[in-house]
A = this chain, B = another copy of it.
Amino acid sequence: MKKLINSVDSVVTDALRGLAAAHPSLRVDIENKVVFRADAPRPGKVGLVSGGGSGHEPLHAGFVGYGMLDAACPGEVFTSPVPDQLIEAAKGVDGGAGVLHIVKNYTGDVLNFEMAAELSGDEGVEVATVLVNDDVAVQDSLFTAGRRGTGATLFVEKIAGALAETGAPLAEVARVAREVNERSRSFGVALTPGTVPAAGKPTFELSDTEIELGIGIHGEPGRTRAPMREAREIARTAMDAIDADLPLSGETLVMVNGMGGTPLIELYIVFAEVEAYLREKGATAVRSLVGNYVTSLDMQGFSVTTCSPTGELTRLWDAPVETPALRWGR
Contact = CB atoms under 8 A, between A and B. Distances in A.
Contacts of A1: 208
Interface in A1-40: 1-7, 11-12, 14-19, 21-23
For the complex formed by this chain, how many copies does it contain in all? 2
Contact of A18 (B2, B16, B272, B300): B272
Interface string A251-268: 000000000111111111
Contact of A269 (B5, B23, B266): B5
A218 B79 CA distance: 36
Nearest to A228: B2
7 nearest CB pairs, A to B? A18-B268, A18-B272, A4-B266, A57-B264, A18-B271, A17-B272, A21-B275
A228 B16 CA distance: 23
A260 B258 CA distance: 11
B275 A18 contact: yes
Given A14-B272, A18-B269, A268-B19, A263 B295 contact: yes
A232 B14 CA distance: 10
22 contacts: A1-B208, A3-B191, A4-B269, A5-B230, A6-B232, A6-B269, A18-B268, A18-B270, A18-B273, A19-B268, A21-B271, A21-B275, A22-B275, A22-B288, A22-B289, A55-B263, A261-B261, A263-B297, A265-B297, A298-B300, A327-B327, A329-B330
Interface in A270-326: 270-273, 275, 285, 288-290, 292, 295, 297-298, 300, 302, 322, 324
Interface residues of A, number: 66
B55 A4 contact: no
B285 A21 contact: yes
A58 interface: yes
Interface of A: 1-7, 11-12, 14-19, 21-23, 54-55, 57-58, 62, 77, 191-192, 194, 208-209, 211, 228, 230-232, 234, 260-273, 275, 285, 288-290, 292, 295, 297-298, 300, 302, 322, 324, 327-330
A265 B230 contact: no
A308 to B, nearest CB: 18
Contacts of A324: 290
Nearest to A232: B6
A265 B62 contact: no
B57 A263 contact: yes
